Each structure stands twice: as structure tokens, then as C-alpha cells.
Amino acid sequence: MEFYIDTADLAQIKEAMSWGILEGVTTNPSIVAREKRGFEELIREIARETPGKVWCEVIGTDADTMVEEARMFRNWADRVVVKLPMGAEGVKAASRLSKEGIETNMTLVYSVGQAVLAAKAGVRYVSPYLGRVDDVAWSGATLIGGIVETFARLGLPTKVIAASVRGPQQVLDMLNLGVHAVTTSYSVWAAMMKHPMTDIGLEGFLRDWKEAGL
């Protein structure tokens, strides 16, 4: 069970990593763009704040460029997981990078077939997008459950990381489906930690303690 925070916001990363329960930080080009800072500088800083893995996505659209970017990311952070977009060029790059021993993730996976091809190319992780599938009126959980079952049936070592997870209940739904990893925002992890009854209970304990004057 691996947990990641899906952000490039350093304040959120610092706080979330201090919980000691997250394996690292996942990013994508939209998340990085939101920070309005140099890509390299930002990734290096995230790596300093993160004892675990830092996930970094290529921008190139052909396999040669993707492979070059992957090698460059490895210089920025040695614990990098290189995110490649699903498609022929992404598969080509994944096959080459897995032979070099560079850990990769196939992202933007929307079918079991895509996931199987990515696994065959040697990626360490595939990212199906739960919320974005639900957004277009199909079931992200059905897709992800199908990938998990197919990988298990075929004995594939590739891990499934549920992406586009938008609430605490969805995190649990994904874990119950048997995914190996989940990435989601700071606010989802923070919400999962909270319960109003916990707050009410703690308030009562502290009040009783104070009133007793111990």
C-alpha cells in the first residue's frame, strides 16, 4: 500500500511528508505549471523535501525526446519515477527505459488493453484515472478493478496506482479493489484524517482534564 501526494506545492509537500505515511510526491505538467517556477529548480526542491519517490512527467511527444528527458530527470533527482503518456511513443520509450533500469509509470491509462501493453513494455506502474472516467459517465472503479484483476491473473509485476482520486471514500474503494498505490491531493489526505467525533471527543477530554485541575 503506497500513498502519494499529487501536488507540486512545497508547503503542502512539507506538511504532508511530516506525517510520515506517504511514499512520495506525484506531479503532472498541469500541476507543475500551476507553480509558475522553473521545472528543474522545482523538482530539485521537491526531491529535497521528499525522502521517497518524486514522479516527473515528460513533455516530449516522441520516444527519443522522452528518453532524453527521463535521463535528465534522473540527474535532478535519483529517486525519480518517469511518467510517460500512454501511446505508441510512450510504450517505445518505456521499453527502452526499463532496459536502462529507469523506473517508469504509464499515465493517462483508460483501458485494460492499454494497461496490459504498458506492463509488457516493463513499466513499474500504470495510472488509470478514476475521477476523469467517472466524469464522462462510465465507472472508473470498474476500469481499475479490471486492470487489477487482469494483472493478478496474468501474474504481471506492474503496480496499479489509482490517480484522479477525489475523496476519502474513493481512496478506500481503490484499496478494497486491490490497487497497490493511490495518489491524491493534500485536501483528500487531510480530510481522511479528520472526523467531527474525534474533534468533539478530544475537546471533551481536554476540558475534563482542565476542570479537574490536575
**Look-up of cell digits 465507472:** 139
What is the Cα–Cα distance from 16 to 4, expressed in whole angstroms?
9
Residue 101 neighbours by CB under 8 Å, 6+ apart: none
Of 182, 163, 36, which Cα lies nearest the Cα of 109?
163
Among 16, 182, 183, 189, binds ligand G3H (CB under 6 A): 183
Among 7, 12, 28, 105, binds ligand G3H (CB under 6 A): 28
Q: Is residue 113 packed enough to be buried (19+ CB in 10 Å), middle (13-18) or exposed (0-12)?
A: exposed
Among 132, 146, 175, 190, binds ligand G3H (CB under 6 A): 132
Strand partners, 207: none
Q: Which stretch binds ligand G3H (CB under 6 A): 63-71, 94-102, 114-122, 126-134?
A: 126-134
Among 105, 114, 164, 170, binds ligand G3H (CB under 6 A): 164
**Look-up of cell digits 476542570:** 211
7 binds ligand G3H (CB under 6 A): no
Catalytic position from the list 53, 83, 194, 210: 83
What is the Cα–Cα distance from 55 to 103, expressed in whole angstroms?
10
Among 163, 171, 179, 181, binds ligand G3H (CB under 6 A): 163
Q: Hey, how many other C-beta atoms are within 10 angstroms of the C-beta on 74?
A: 17
131 binds ligand G3H (CB under 6 A): yes
Q: How many residues does the chain have?
A: 214
6 binds ligand G3H (CB under 6 A): yes
104 binds ligand G3H (CB under 6 A): no
Whether the Cβ atoms of residue 46 and residue 17 lie closer than 8 Å to each other: no
Question: Smallest distance from the beta carbon of 27 to ligand G3H, in angstroms?
Answer: 8
Q: Which stretch binds ligand G3H (CB under 6 A): 95-103, 112-120, 158-166, 198-206?
A: 158-166
Residues forming contacts to ligand G3H in the complex (CB under 6 A) are 6, 28, 129, 131-132, 163-164, 166, 183
Catalytic residues: 83
